[in-house]
């Protein structure tokens, strides 16, 4: 099955097995391994990417379903050698430790702010309900997202 997508702005077409999950397409076919896999039940959010600008768990989507879509992965966030403001906020506030959940967390957080540019702490916590982190206790992640929101105001 053919799938045509734009990944981080670059258009490409690949022949894939229908059952190929989007996350495996991104990691194994496109070669972008920044998107991680942490579970097999859409629970952890480590594989979160943007499909047409919205956060999606790429383990719960077939690559063929993404046909025609614009996909942004963690590799597409920083530009011109500068971290994206959300990445920078995570760094400034120590919002990551082992870093495995981080790409998905950052993608979920940027999508959250796109929909709600000035969230309260409670809204940030609710907005990240689909992403699990085992290291940080979320304290500094929440701080980072609030800071990024404040910076964007």
Partner 1 sequence: MIPASFDYVRASTADEAVQRLSEAGEDAKLLAGGHSLLPLMRLRMATPSLLVDIGGMRDLSYVKDGGDSLAIGALTRHGELARNELARREAPLLAHVAGQVGDPQVRHRGTIGGSIAHGDPASDLPAACLALGASFVTASPRGEQTRSADEFFTGFLETALAPDEMLVEIRVPKSAGATWSFQKFNRRAQDWAIVGVALARNGSTRIGLVNMGATPLRATAAEDALAGGASPAEASSRAGDGLAPPSDLSASAEYRRHLARVLVRRALEEAVAG
Partner 2 sequence: MTATQAAPGGVLGQRLLRKEDPALLTGEAQFVADLNVPGALHAVIVRSPVAHARILSVDVSPAMSVPGVVAAFTGKDLEGEWAGPLPCAWPVTPDMKSPAHLPLATDKVCYAGDGVAVVLATSEYAARDGGDAVAVEYDPLPAVVDLDDARSDRVVIHDELGTNTSYVWELTPDQAAVDAAFADAAHTVHGHYVQQRLIPSAIEPRGVLVIPQPFNGEYTLYSATQIPHILKVMLALTVGVPETAIRVIAPAVGGGFGSKLNVYAEEALALALARKMRRPIRWIETRSEATQATIQGRGQIQDIELAADAEGRITAVRVKLLADMGAYLQLVTPGVPLLGAFLYSGVYDVPVYSFSCTSVFTNMTPTDAYRGAGRPEATYAIERVIEDLARAVGVDSAEIRRRNFIKAEQFPYSSAAGLVYDSGAYEQALDRALELSGMDGLRAEQARRRESGDRVQLGIGISSYMEMCGLAPSRVLASLNYTAGGWEAATVRLLPTGKVQVVTGTSPHGQGHETSWSMIVADRLGVGPEDVEVLHSDTAIAPYGLDTYGSRSLSVGGVAVAIATDRVIAKAKAIAAHQLEIAEEDLEFRDGAFTAKGTPERSMPLGAVAFEAFTAHNLPDGLEPNLEASSHFDPPNFTFPFGTHVCVVEVDTETGLVSLRSYTAVDDCGVQVNPLIVEGQVHGGITQGVAQALFEEAVYDEDGNPKTTTLMDYLVPAASELPSYVTDSTVTPSPTNLLGVKGIGEAGTIGSAPAVINAICDALAPLGIHDMAMPATPERVWRSISEARGEEAKGS
- Residues of the shown chain interacting with partner 2 in the complex, contacts defined by CB under 8 A: 17, 19-20, 24, 27-28, 32-41, 43-44, 46, 73-75, 77-78, 83, 87, 90-94, 96-103, 106, 121, 124-126, 128-143
Where b means 16+ CB within 10 Å and e means fewer, 49-73 reads bbbeeebbbbbebbbbebeebbbbb
Determine the Cα–Cα distance for residues 4 and 115; give it in Å rounded to an integer: 27
Distance of closest approach, residue 2 Cβ to partner 2, in angstroms: 18
Instruction: With contacts defined by CB under 8 A, name the span among 27-35, 60-68, 71-79, 135-143 that binds partner 1.
Output: 60-68
Phi-psi region of 45 (alpha: psi -120 to 50; beta: other; left: phi over 0): left
Binding-site size for partner 1 (CB under 8 A) equals 34
Determine the Cα–Cα distance for residues 61 and 93; give it in Å rounded to an integer: 32
- 138 binds, options partner 1, partner 2, none, Cβ within 5 to 8 A by partner type: partner 2
Determine the Cα–Cα distance for residues 117 and 134; give it in Å rounded to an integer: 26
Contact 65, 57 (CB under 8 A): no
Distance of closest approach, residue 55 Cβ to partner 1, in angstroms: 5
Partners of residue 55 on adjacent β-strands: 50
Distance of closest approach, residue 82 Cβ to partner 1, in angstroms: 26
Interface residues toward partner 1, by CB under 8 A: 1, 17-19, 21, 24, 40-43, 45, 48, 51, 54-57, 59-62, 64-65, 67-68, 108, 111-112, 115, 126-127, 129-131
């Amino acid at each position: 099955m053919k799938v045509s997508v734009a990944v981080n702005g670059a258009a490409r077409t690949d022949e894939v097995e229908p059952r190929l999950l989007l996350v495996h397409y991104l990691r194994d076919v496109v070669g972008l391994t920044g998107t991680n896999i942490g579970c097999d039940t859409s629970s952890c959010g480590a594989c979160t990417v943007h499909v047409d600008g919205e956060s999606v768990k790429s383990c719960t989507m077939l690559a063929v379903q993404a046909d025609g879509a614009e996909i942004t992965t963690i590799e597409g966030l920083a530009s011109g050698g500068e971290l994206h403001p959300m990445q920078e906020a995570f760094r400034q506030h120590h919002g990551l430790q082992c870093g495995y959940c981080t790409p998905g967390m950052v993608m979920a957080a940027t999508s959250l702010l796109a929909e709600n540019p000035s969230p309260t702490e409670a809204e940030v916590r609710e907005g990240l309900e689909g992403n699990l982190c085992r290291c940080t206790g979320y304290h500094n992640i929440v701080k980072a997202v609030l800071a990024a929101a404040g910076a964007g105001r």
